[in-house]
């Protein structure tokens, strides 16, 4: 079972790559939403050091033409789930990661304040892997076990909180499959 250390806010067993792109949540603000994103750097390519470098402000703008557009961005996420299902953590879960940008959910702005961001290594159009669905279910269970405020929290896409601006995790993410798998893994847990 995947667990979160309540003192540090880190997932036990996840690879840690600390991002400076985070800060404290507003006072008395607990996470109440889980947002699923999709990322690949360069677009459509997997593996390599680029995502780690992007979330730690070390992306070499000259390494790929696309990187010139994003190298100065100051963004982060709490977690990344790689194609093989490995989990990387950039921001402790009790901190605010800078993942959702200009966003709104259920008449509340600034979703970063009250959400957990989970990146899946992928694209809008290429199917996510079995290992990623399994890891995502384990992560959601661990989050719900660690935070009472997340016990029944919705899991939504970046496109749901920033419609028209963002499309991820895209049509390649099978929401029905994820929900079925999450429900089945709750029963067996």
Q: Catalytic residue numbers?
A: 119
Q: Residues 101, 165: contact at Cβ < 8 Å?
A: yes
Residue pointed to by tokens 């496109």: 159
Within 13 Å, how many C-alpha atoms sit on residue 45's CB side? 11
What are the backbone dihedrals phi and psi of residue 109, each rounded to the nearest 5 degrees, phi first? -90, 170
Report the distance separating Cα 43 and Cα 49, nearest Å: 14
- Classify residue 56 by its DSSP letter: T
């Amino acid at each position: 079972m995947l667990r979160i250390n309540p003192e540090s806010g880190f997932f036990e067993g996840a690879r840690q790559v600390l991002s400076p792109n985070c800060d404290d949540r507003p006072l008395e603000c607990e996470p109440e939403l889980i947002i699923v994103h999709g990322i690949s750097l360069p677009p459509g390519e997997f593996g390599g050091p680029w995502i780690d470098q992007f979330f730690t402000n070390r992306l070499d703008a000259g390494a790929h033409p696309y990187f010139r557009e994003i190298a100065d961005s100051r963004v982060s996420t709490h977690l990344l789930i790689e194609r093989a299902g490995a989990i990387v953590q950039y921001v402790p879960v009790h901190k605010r990661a800078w993942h959702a940008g200009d966003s709104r959910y259920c008449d509340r702005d600034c979703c970063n304040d009250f959400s957990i961001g989970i990146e899946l290594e992928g694209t809008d159009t290429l199917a996510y892997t079995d290992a990623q669905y399994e890891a995502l279910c384990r992560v959601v269970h661990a989050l719900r076990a660690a935070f009472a405020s997340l016990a029944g929290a919705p899991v939504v896409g970046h496109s749901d909180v920033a419609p028209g601006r963002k499309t991820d995790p895209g049509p390649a993410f099978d929401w029905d499959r994820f929900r079925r798998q999450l429900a089945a893994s709750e029963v067996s847990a």
